[in-house]
Every structure is written in C-alpha cells, then in structure tokens.
Amino acid sequence: MPLHLVDFDNNDSTFDEYAQAASVKPIPKYKMGDEPIEHSVVKDLILDELLLDGNAKQNLATFCQTDVDPEIHAIMDKCIDKNMIDKDEYPQTAEIENRCVHILADLWNSPESRTTIGCSTTGSSEAAMLGGLALKWNWRKKREKDGKPTDKPNIITGPVQICWHKFARYFDVEIREIPMEHDRLLMTPEEVIKRIDENTIGVVPTFGVTFTLEYEDVKGISDALDKYEKETGLDIPIHVDAASGGFIAPFIQPKIKWDFRLPRVKSINASGHKFGLSPLGVGWVVWREKSDLPEELIFNVNYLGGNMPTFALNFSRPGGQIVAQYYNLIRHGREGYKKIQQACLDHGIFIAEEVEKLGLFDLLYDGKSALPGAAWMLKKDIDPGFNLYDLSDRMRMRGWQIASYSLPANCQDMVIQRVLIRHGFSHDMAQLMIDDLKRCIDYFIQHPVVNNSTKKDSEGFHHS
Ligand SMILES: *Cc1c(COP(=O)(O)O)cnc(C)c1O
C-alpha cells in the first residue's frame, strides 16, 4: 500500500482513473469488495485486463464471427433489454425471429418454407439438442405404435463436434461415431449402413467438419439410406449439422445437394454466429415440414391471443442477436453473402497454396471445396526442427492464433494445423500471416527445438 493519501473527490478536476484507490490496490477477484468503486475506474481496469485476451481478428482458430458492422453494434445496443422469450412484450422481435426461420427454410430449399417450423437457439449446440430430440421422439412414437422396445436408441455420426457427444450423454442415446481412418477422414455411405439397426433414430452428417473443414456427402448417404429402406423397410431420417456449411454452400456451392432438396433430410442446424455473420449467441434449427417436429416437444404459450409455439432448452435469452441476424440477411442479400463468403474462400485457397509452396507441409484441405480455410500437416519423414505446436506458439508471438491438434480416433497420430477465414479478413492479412509463418520457420531452422514433443510427433508421423 502506498502511504500517500488518495483523493476520492470525483468532482475534483484532478480526478484521474489511474490515480484512484482501486487503481493502486488489487481489485476484488474472488470475493466482492465492501465498498463500491467509481464506474469509470472499474470499466478501465476491466478493459485493461481483457487486453490480455487474444486479438479476435487474428484468431484463425475459431469458426465464430469476430467482425461486425457498426450498424450491428447499434442494433445490439438498442436490443440489450429485449428478452426473446417474452413474446408478448416484444412481439416484433418474435416476428423477426419467425421471418429468419422462413428465410433459412427457403435458403435450404424446404418444400414448405412459408409454413414450416424452426427456431433460434443460443448456437448450434442447442440446435443440435433440439434436432436430436425430435429424432428420438419420432423414433420412439413409431416403435411404440409397433409395440417394440424403446430403450436402446442410437444415432450415427461421422467425426462430430462435441455437442453430439453431449446430446448422446444428456439424452441417453448411444452414439455410433464412425472413426476416421488414415485413408478416410469423413463418414461414407458404406460405413453408415454397417452401423444401422432398427434402433437408429437418425444419421447426422456434418456439413463442414470441425477437424478438416470438409463436407460430408449428405446426398450419397441419403441415396444409401433410400436403398436400405427398399431392402429392409427401415426409414432412417437425416439431420444435417450444417453449423458452418449452412451459411456457405447456399451461396458459393449451390450445386451441392445437402439440404431439404433431399427428402430424407428432416432437419438442419446452423450457427448464425459463425458464417451467418451475426454476433455470438445465435443458432438456428429448421424442420423440413411442420409435421417433422413432434408436437409433444412444442410448448404452446397463448400470449398475444394466438398460439406461440416454443421449443428450446433455455428460457430467457437476448433478442439482439436475432435482430442482428435479420439485419444481415436483408442487408447482404444472397449476392452480398456470396461475395463475402467467396472472398473468404479465396483467401483460404491463397493461404493453402502458399503453405504448400514452403515445401514442408502436405495439405489436408486445400480450401477449395467446402469451408473457407485450409489445413495441413508436416510432411512425413522430415525433421524441420519444430513441430506444429511449436509453430503455433511462435506465431502467437505476432498475435496469430492458429490451431494445431491431433485428429480424433483412429487418427490420433496425425497432428494438423488449421486456419479458418472469416468476414473481416483480407488478402493483405493473408499475406502478412504467410510472411510471419515464413519468419517463424526461418527462426526454427536457425534455432531448432529439441524437445520431447517434437520427437514424439515425428515418431507418430512414421507410424502412419
Ligand atoms: C461450431 C459447431 C457446433 C457447435 O456450435 P455452437 O454454435 O458453437 O454451439 C456444432 N457442430 C459443428 C459442425 C460446429 O462447427
């Protein structure tokens, strides 16, 4: 504690945030303090502390939106007091949510986009829970009608995002996750068919796989399930986890059939806060037709004199993200989204090409066919003096956050590095990133890392 007295008089013209008691003492961390602290001082102290977080624009590890228009800031500010669940108090926010559902149903080619059902969520995780629950309920109803046991539901996925593991555990469903193999990193129709039985509530292809950014072949899987139904009579629905791809493919890969154009696709989830371009806290789930969502899961709230169906895990939730989603959809239009996503795709392709030119890496994803970004591995049988974790660490010194991780089963021996490119990135930034990557590699050539993990990883590569 300094011995001098601190002047607490806020009206004093000498008032300065950094010359206050709170600024020269530790601030309360794990227990509330007894006395209040001047608001402007607390704000500065907290914002200063947050400077230690990474810089979101240089975060090439996340799928989530980190760049929003000033207009979105204004919308979020105006909406900060809107609770989306209070549909009687904020009926127009409810109307805007509803419009987004129908716009997305149309974007994903629902045959009944004007009348079908869907809702906003906090993100794709909640949306996946709702999609999974609908599959479980529909399966159970059918089984009960046939007088068959309903105690062993299973769901079939490829290498999925953790939310499907959560769904399986929280809602008591066995997950049959098709493991990766060295020559097959995605789900294939054959691998799906091998795992199906009468207790399969649905198949979940991922449209934009977390690990590799590639799309699973929804059409191929749907065709295989059609054939399977002809042979066995079992009609297995598909839910597509299009967390990222749901806002990419409709604009820049419109020929890929992955959505409600395939009658077997009964529901789709996507993250508004990923390539939907909205701020954090919004996802979407839409059913093909109203009848695909079992009524028992819908709670009807008779506010507004009408029936307002709600289906959600949360109750209170901020309304601003939903309004911002609507802003994005109508502000950019199809052409705007197309330009934005294509620009991101192009930057990813550029990065992939430049990385390949360095001669040390094998591309795992060249950025061309699916999500905007790229992924690569160190070439086998080389010892460049660093591993990918070392490279990520060193890139962090210039602020770049680039994910390095090992793949899931059965490819745990493969360590890959991945970048995601999102709105707010430019060719210039891509070039700066590549220049830094080269600088880091040069550094390691002159100062090779000798550590256990390098050794372990390079041994791992020889295994594969
Ligand atoms: C991000 C992601 C999720 C989870 O989405 P949140 O919006 O973060 O809850 C689920 N599935 C896939 C494929 C994802 O990429």
pLDDT tens for the 464 residues of the chain, in order? 555 555 555 556 788 989 988 899 999 999 999 999 999 999 999 999 999 999 999 999 999 999 989 999 999 999 999 999 888 889 999 999 999 999 999 999 999 999 999 999 999 999 999 999 999 999 999 999 999 999 999 999 999 999 999 999 999 999 999 999 999 999 999 999 999 999 999 999 999 999 999 999 999 999 999 999 999 999 999 999 999 999 999 999 999 999 999 999 999 999 999 999 999 999 999 999 999 999 999 988 776 555 667 889 998 999 999 999 999 999 999 999 999 999 999 999 999 999 999 999 999 999 999 999 999 999 998 999 999 999 999 999 999 999 999 999 999 999 999 999 999 999 999 999 999 999 999 999 999 998 655 444 444 444 33
- The two tokens of residue 74 are 């204004």
Name residue 270's beta-bridge partners: 284
Return the bridge partners of 200, or none.
154
What residue owns the CA closest to ligand 1's atom 1? 243
What separation in Å is there between the alpha carbon of 317 and the centre of ligand 1? 18
Query: Does 314 sit behind a cis peptide bond, omega within 30 degrees of 0 on the bond before it?
Result: no
H-type helices in 10-161, by residue range?
21-24, 39-50, 70-78, 91-107, 124-145
**197-236 residue pLDDT tens:** 999 999 999 999 999 999 999 999 999 999 999 999 999 9
Peptide bond into 300 cis (omega under 30): no
Per-residue model confidence (pLDDT) at position 310 = 83
- Dihedral sign, CA of 64, 69, 72, 74? positive
Residue owning tokens 């993200």: 321
Q: What is the pLDDT of residue 200?
A: 98
Residue position matching structure tokens 């003492």: 25
C-alpha 17/C-alpha 5 separation (Å) is 15
Pocket test for ligand 1, best of 64, 157, 161 (most atoms within 8 A of CB): 161
Nearest protein CA to atom 5 of ligand 1, as residue: 124
Helix (H) or strand (E) holding 265: strand 265-271
Tell me the best of 66, 163, 187, 275 to mutate to test the pocket of ligand 1, counting ligand atoms within 8 Å of each CB and taking the most.
Answer: 163
Please answer whether residues 302 and 308 qualify as being in contact, where contact means their C-beta atoms are separated by less than 8 angstroms: yes
Longest C-alpha distance within the chain, in Å?
A: 87
Q: Which pLDDT value is given to residue 325?
A: 98
Task: Report the C-alpha gap between 255 and 260 in whole angstroms.
Answer: 13
Q: Is 131 in the pocket of ligand 1 (CB under 6 A)?
A: no
Mean pLDDT of the chain: 93
pTM equals 0.93
- 409 Cα to the center of ligand 1, angstroms: 19
* Residue nearest atom 2 in ligand 1 by C-alpha distance: 243
